[in-house]
């Protein structure tokens, strides 16, 4: 993968080299300026020493002094020459050191530049690899998507086809059912109408009869004041005859009846209190004879 890559960092490397050179030149300039300043300060020191030599009092002394001074001057000259040589050597050493430093700095800069270049290159390589991976993933996803879309499309098409088929079948079935129902309905219509008519009449009578019974039941129950002496387990039947209009014309307790006299009396009183049974509205379910089963379970 690296071999295939075109050389993208040639321009970058040149740029780094120029930058390194610039930095070194700047350093060299700085060094030059600092050595100038230093020599400028040396000059006044020499002038002060010369004025001290001119203050001798006698000739001998002056001669001795002159010789001494000559010797000293010679020594001084020697020393100065020595000093100059030393300074020159120092300057040369400094220059060598400077050069060495410059060289080392340059080498360092070069190393750093090389490292930077290598890091950059690695980064670029990673980036390139990432991009390549992304691209590959993207392409793969696209491929999958295309494939899925195709499957979906196929499925949809199949579904549509099936639905259409089913719809067609359903429509067909519906049609058949509708036709069947219609036919049945048509066939049963007459019979049904007749049956309904009959059932309605029966039901009307049945519910009315039920209501009739419940009404009478509640009426008698409410009017039966049962004495506290009634023993649990008491059962007695009272047969009542009524005439249209509901008027009770006779009532009698049917044997056997296990009620005590007070309870028997209370049962008869219940019927006598009521006197007339419900009639209006119940004409069609009227019963001439009714048996009332009086019961107390305790």
Q: 292: buried, middle or exposed (CB in 10 Å: 19+, 13-18, 0-12)?
A: buried
Q: What are phi and psi of 295, to 5 degrees?
A: -145, 140
Among 6, 44, 228, 256, binds another protein (CB under 8 A): 228
Residue 256: is the preceding peptide bond cis (ω within 30°)?
Answer: yes
Give the shortest CB-285-to-another protein separation in angstroms. 7
Tokens of 90: 């120092």
Picking from 226, 194, 211, 184, the residue whose alpha carbon sits closest to that of residue 285 is: 211
CA dihedral (183, 186, 190, 194) in degrees, to 10, reads 80
For 289, residues 6+ apart whose C-beta sits below 8 A from its C-beta are 239, 240, 241, 242
- Among the listed residues 262, 271, 260, 261, the one whose alpha carbon sits nearest the alpha carbon of residue 233: 260
Nearer to another protein, 16 or 234 (CB): 234
Least distance in Å: CB of 200 to another protein?
A: 15
Q: Does 221 bind another protein (CB under 8 A)?
A: yes
In the region spanning residues 133 to 162, those forming contacts with another protein, defined by CB under 8 A, are: none
Q: Which residue has the tokens 């195709």?
A: 150
Our CB check for another protein shows the closer of 53 and 219 to be 219
* CB of 172 vs another protein, minimal distance in Å: 51
Task: Kindly tell me the burial class for residue 56, based on how many C-beta atoms sit within 10 Å of its own C-beta (0-12, 13-18, 19 or more).
Answer: middle
Spatial CB neighbours of 273, under 8 Å, sequence gap ≥ 6 = 223
Alpha carbons 190 and 206: distance in angstroms, whole number? 25
Question: Closer to another protein at the Cβ: 138 or 265?
Answer: 265
* Contact pick of 217, 253, 257, 258 for another protein (by CB under 8 A): 217
Does residue 114 touch another protein according to CB under 8 A? no
- Residue 252 CB, shortest distance to another protein, in Å, is 10
Q: Assess 227 for contact with another protein (CB under 8 A).
A: yes
Using the minimum distance from each CB to another protein, give the nearer residue, 22 or 233: 233
Q: Which C-beta is closer to another protein: that of 27 or that of 286?
A: 286
Q: How far is the CB of 260 from another protein (least distance, A)?
A: 6
**Gap between the Cα atoms of 170 and 8, Å rounded:** 70
Q: Which is nearer to another protein, 142 or 217 (CB)?
A: 217
For residues 42 and 297, which CB has a smaller minimum distance to another protein in the complex? 297
| Contact (CB, 8 A) for 292 and 240 | yes
Residue 289 CB, nearest distance to another protein (Å)? 6
CA distance 7 to 3: 10
Residues near another protein (CB under 8 A), total:
44
Site residues for another protein, 236-295, by CB under 8 A, read 241, 243-244, 249-250, 260-262, 264-266, 268-270, 272-273, 275, 284-295
Binding-site ranges for another protein (CB under 8 A): 213, 216-217, 220-222, 224-230, 241, 243-244, 249-250, 260-262, 264-266, 268-270, 272-273, 275, 284-297
């Amino acid at each position: 993968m690296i071999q295939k890559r075109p050389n993208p960092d040639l321009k970058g490397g040149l740029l780094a080299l120029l930058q390194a050179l610039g930095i070194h030149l700047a350093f060299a300039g700085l060094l030059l300026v600092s050595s100038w300043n230093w020599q400028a300060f040396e000059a006044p020191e020499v002038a002060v020493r010369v004025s001290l030599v001119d203050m001798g009092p006698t000739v001998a002394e002056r001669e001795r002094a002159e010789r001494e001074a000559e010797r000293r001057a010679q020594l001084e000259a020697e020393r100065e020459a020595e000093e100059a040589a030393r300074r020159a050597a120092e300057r040369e050493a400094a220059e060598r050191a400077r050069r060495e430093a410059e060289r080392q700095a340059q080498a360092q800069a070069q190393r750093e530049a090389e490292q930077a270049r290598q890091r950059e290159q690695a980064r670029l390589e990673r980036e390139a690899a990432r991009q390549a991976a992304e691209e590959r993933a993207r392409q793969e996803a696209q491929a999958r998507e295309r494939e899925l879309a195709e499957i979906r499309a196929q499925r949809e098409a199949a579904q549509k086809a099936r639905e259409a088929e089913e719809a067609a079948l359903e429509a067909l079935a519906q049609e058949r059912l509708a036709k069947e129902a219609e036919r049945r309905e048509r066939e049963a219509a007459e019979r049904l109408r007749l049956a309904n008519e009959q059932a309605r009449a029966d039901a009307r009578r049945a519910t009315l009869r039920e209501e009739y019974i419940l009404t009478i039941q509640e009426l008698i129950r409410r009017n039966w004041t049962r004495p506290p002496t009634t023993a649990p387990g008491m059962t007695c039947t009272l047969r009542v005859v009524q005439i249209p209009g509901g008027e009770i014309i006779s009532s009698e307790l049917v044997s056997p009846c296990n009620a005590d006299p007070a309870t028997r009396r209370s049962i008869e009183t219940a019927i006598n209190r009521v006197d007339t049974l419900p009639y209006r509205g119940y004409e069609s379910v009227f019963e001439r004879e009714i048996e009332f089963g009086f019961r107390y379970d305790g």
